[in-house]
C-alpha cells in the first residue's frame, strides 16, 4: 500500500525525514551546540505556556495576514534562511515555490545551494541574508547582486556561531561531494535509496557550494570555505551594522538579538526589524529559549521597530504564543526542512498548512478576529517564565503584567 504523502504534524514530518535521510544529513539538521540545552529549551518553553480560551464571542472570520518590513504575507510565518539544503535536489528553489504558493515570505541564506536570481524568480517576496564575512567590498557586491535580483529586504545574521566546538550531535560533513567522499559515506547513504533516487532523477548530486558568495569572475566557495572566511573576518561593531544598513538602503532585519541593551543599540543603528534568536540552539549553549526573552525585548523596542522571533516554533499554537508576547511574526527553520525532506515542495506547503491551521484554531479559541489582537491576556504564563540578562526583575517574570499570569474573565 502506498503511503499517504500528507502528514498531520511537524513531528510526523521530522519522523519521515529521519527515515528518509542518511544519518549524517539528518544529524546536521537536529544538531545544537555543546549539550544541546538551548535547542531543548527552545521547544520546551512553548509547552510551558498555556492558552486562556474564551467560551463565547468567537469570530466566524479571522484575519491571519500581516506585513513584515512592508512586505505582505498571508501568515505571520516566514521561511528562515538556512544554508546548503542537501535534503532535496531542488533545495531552496522548492522552498521558495512552496512559500509563494502559500503567500508567505521567503528568506534566502547567502550560504544557500541555489542562486538568489533563481529564488527571487520563484518567489518575488524574498529577503536575502548575509553574514559579516569577508571584505566590505565583497559584502557590497553580494548586497548589490541581491538587490539587482529583486530581494525586498536584507537579513543580517550576527549570532553564528560563537561556539567554535563541534555542535552537539553534529556529524562530519565533507568539504565537497566527490568519489572519495561518496565512498566514505556509502555505508550511511546506501541504506537510504529513496534519498539517492531523488538526486539521481534530478541528474544532480548534493551541492555543498555557496553560489551567492561567488565573486565576479571567480568560483563559488565550498560551505567550509565560506565558514573559514567568516572565522577570519574581524567581528563587526555597531558602526559596522549601521554601515551595512546604509549600504543596503532598504528594509533591514538584524537577526540574533537576545538582550534588551542589544535591541536598543539595534534601534540606534537604524534597523527596520530585529529577530529574537539564538540561531536555533547553535549559538552559546544555555542561552535561554527565545520565547522567554521575547517579552522584555518587545516591551523595550516594539514601539520603534518590528520584533520577530525564531527558535523552537513547531506548530501554529507556538506562533500564536509568540504573537501574544509581542512578536510581529516568526521565522521557521527545521520545521520546513523536515517537510522538504519528507515530500519536497509539497512537504514544505504541508508544513505551512499545519502552521496556518494551528494558528487559526488558536485565534478562534481565544476569541480574536485577527492575529494583531493577540495579547498576553490570552495566555497562562507561569511565574518565572521569562528571562532577562543580569538577573533583574524580568528574570522572575515580573516584566509580564500580573493579570496575564492567570487570566480572569
Q: In this predicted model, what pLDDT tens digit does every residue of 217-252 receive, in sequence order?
A: 898 888 778 878 888 899 999 999 999 999 999 999
Q: Is residue 338 in some structural domain?
A: yes
Q: Is residue 150 in some structural domain?
A: yes
Q: Is residue 395 in some structural domain?
A: no
Q: Is residue 219 in some structural domain?
A: yes
pLDDT tens, position by position, 68-120: 999 999 999 999 999 878 789 899 999 999 999 999 999 999 999 999 999 99
Domain residue limits at 189: 10-163+177-382
| CATH code for the domain of 79 | 3.20.20.70
Measure the CA angle with vertex 35, ends 260 and 312; round to 5°: 50
Q: Is residue 4 in some structural domain?
A: no
Spatial distance between the Cα atoms of 348 and 1, rounded to a whole number of angstroms: 24
The pLDDT value recorded for residue 400 is 43
| Band (388; pLDDT cuts 50, 70, 90) | confident
Q: Is residue 390 in some structural domain?
A: no
CA dihedral 90, 92, 93, 96 (to 10 degrees): 140
pLDDT tens, position by position, 11-39: 999 999 999 888 888 888 888 888 889 99
Residue 179 pLDDT exceeds 60:
no
Beta-bridge partner residues of 329: 308
Residue 408 pLDDT exceeds 50:
no
Q: Mutual orientation of helices 334-365 and 316-324 as an angle, nearest 10°?
A: 70
pLDDT tens, position by position, 284-315: 899 999 999 999 999 999 999 999 999 999 99
- What is the widest separation between alpha-carbon atoms in the chain? 66
Q: Is residue 36 in some structural domain?
A: yes
The pLDDT value recorded for residue 393 is 44
* Range with lowest mean pLDDT among 110-124, 151-165, 179-193, 345-359: 179-193
Tell me the chain's radius of gyration from C-alpha atoms.
Answer: 21
Burial class (CB in 10 A: 0-12, 13-18, 19+), 380: middle
Residue 162 pLDDT exceeds 70:
no
Asked whether the bond before 161 is cis by omega within 30 degrees of 0, the reply is yes
Q: Is residue 387 in some structural domain?
A: no
DSSP string, 313-358: --SHHHHHHHHHTT-SEEEESHHHHHHHHHHHHHHHHHHHHHHHHH
Structural domains of the chain, count: 1
Q: E strands of 62-220, at which residues?
A: 66-68, 71-73, 77-79, 106-108, 126-131, 153-157
* Range with lowest mean pLDDT among 154-163, 169-178, 263-272, 298-307: 169-178
The pLDDT value recorded for residue 116 is 98
Spatial distance between the Cα atoms of 175 and 375, rounded to a whole number of angstroms: 47
The pLDDT value recorded for residue 86 is 77
Taking the CA atoms of 291, 297, 302 and 303 in sequence, report the sign of the dihedral they define.
Answer: positive
Strand 66-68 versus strand 71-73 pairing type: antiparallel
Cβ density class 128-140: b for 16+ within 10 Å, e for less = bbbbbbbeeeebe
| Band (165; pLDDT cuts 50, 70, 90) | low
The pLDDT value recorded for residue 3 is 64
Contact 320, 290 (CB under 8 A): no
Spatial distance between the Cα atoms of 114 and 334, rounded to a whole number of angstroms: 18
Spatial distance between the Cα atoms of 195 and 199, rounded to a whole number of angstroms: 7
Does 279 qualify as catalytic in the annotation?
Answer: yes
The pLDDT value recorded for residue 327 is 98
What 3-state DSSP class applies to 90? coil
User: Cell numbers of 39, please?
Assistant: 535547542
Q: Which of 171-185, 230-244, 356-370, 387-401 has the highest mean pLDDT?
A: 356-370
Choosing from 59, 164, 279, 372, the catalytic residue is 279
Express as a percent the part of the chain with pLDDT over 70: 86
Q: What is the pTM of this model?
A: 0.90
The pLDDT value recorded for residue 4 is 82
| Band (170; pLDDT cuts 50, 70, 90) | low
Q: Could you tell me which residue, 219 or 276, shows the higher pLDDT?
A: 276
Q: Could you tell me which residue, 408 or 221, shows the higher pLDDT?
A: 221
| Band (175; pLDDT cuts 50, 70, 90) | low
Mean pLDDT of the chain: 88
Spatial distance between the Cα atoms of 47 and 294, rounded to a whole number of angstroms: 15
The pLDDT value recorded for residue 161 is 59
Amino acid at each position: 500500500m502506498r503511503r499517504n504523502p500528507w502528514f498531520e504534524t511537524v513531528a510526523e514530518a521530522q519522523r519521515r525525514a529521519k527515515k528518509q535521510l542518511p544519518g549524517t544529513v539528518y544529524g546536521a539538521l537536529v544538531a545544537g551546540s555543546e549539550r544541546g540545552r538551548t535547542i531543548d529549551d527552545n521547544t520546551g518553553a512553548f509547552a510551558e505556556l498555556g492558552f486562556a480560551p474564551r467560551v463565547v464571542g468567537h469570530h466566524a472570520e479571522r484575519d491571519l495576514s500581516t506585513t513584515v518590513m512592508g512586505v505582505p504575507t498571508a501568515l505571520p510565518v516566514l521561511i528562515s534562511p538556512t544554508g546548503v539544503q542537501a535534503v532535496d535536489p531542488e533545495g531552496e528553489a522548492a522552498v521558495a515555490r512552496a512559500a509563494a504558493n502559500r503567500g508567505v515570505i521567503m528568506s534566502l541564506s547567502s550560504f544557500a545551494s541555489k542562486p538568489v536570481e533563481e529564488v527571487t524568480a520563484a518567489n518575488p517576496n524574498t529577503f536575502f541574508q548575509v553574514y559579516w564575512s569577508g571584505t566590505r567590498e565583497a559584502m557590497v557586491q553580494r548586497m548589490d547582486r541581491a538587490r539587482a535580483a529583486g530581494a525586498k529586504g536584507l537579513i543580517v545574521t550576527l549570532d553564528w556561531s560563537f561556539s567554535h566546538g563541534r555542535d552537539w550531535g553534529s556529524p562530519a560533513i565533507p568539504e565537497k561531494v566527490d568519489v572519495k567522499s561518496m565512498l566514505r559515506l556509502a555505508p550511511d547513504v546506501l541504506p537510504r535509496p529513496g534519498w539517492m533516487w531523488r538526486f539521481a532523477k534530478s541528474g544532480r548530486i548534493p551541492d555543498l557550494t555557496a553560489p551567492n558568495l561567488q565573486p565576479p569572475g571567480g568560483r563559488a566557495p565550498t560551505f567550509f570555505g565560506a565558514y573559514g572566511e567568516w572565522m577570519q573576518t574581524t567581528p563587526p561593531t555597531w558602526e559596522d551594522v549601521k554601515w551595512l544598513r546604509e549600504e543596503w538602503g532598504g528594509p533591514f532585519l538584524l537577526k540574533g538579538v537576545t538582550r534588551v541593551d542589544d535591541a536598543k543599540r539595534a534601534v540606534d543603528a537604524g534597523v527596520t526589524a530585529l529577530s529574537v534568536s539564538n540561531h536555533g540552539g547553535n549559538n552559546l549553549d544555555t542561552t535561554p529559549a527565545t520565547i522567554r526573552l521575547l517579552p522584555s525585548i518587545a516591551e523595550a523596542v516594539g514601539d520603534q521597530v518590528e520584533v520577530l522571533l525564531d527558535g523552537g516554533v513547531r506548530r501554529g499554537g507556538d506562533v500564536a504564543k509568540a504573537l501574544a508576547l509581542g512578536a510581529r511574526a516568526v521565522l521557521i527553520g527545521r520545521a520546513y526542512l523536515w517537510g522538504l525532506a519528507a515530500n519536497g515542495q509539497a512537504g514544505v506547503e504541508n508544513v505551512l498548512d499545519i502552521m496556518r491551521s494551528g494558528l487559526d484554531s488558536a485565534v478562534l479559541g481565544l476569541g480574536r478576529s485577527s492575529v494583531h489582537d493577540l495579547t498576553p491576556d490570552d495566555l497562562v504564563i507561569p511565574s518565572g517564565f521569562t528571562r532577562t540578562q543580569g538577573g533583574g526583575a524580568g528574570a522572575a517574570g515580573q516584566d509580564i503584567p500580573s493579570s496575564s499570569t492567570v487570566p480572569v474573565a
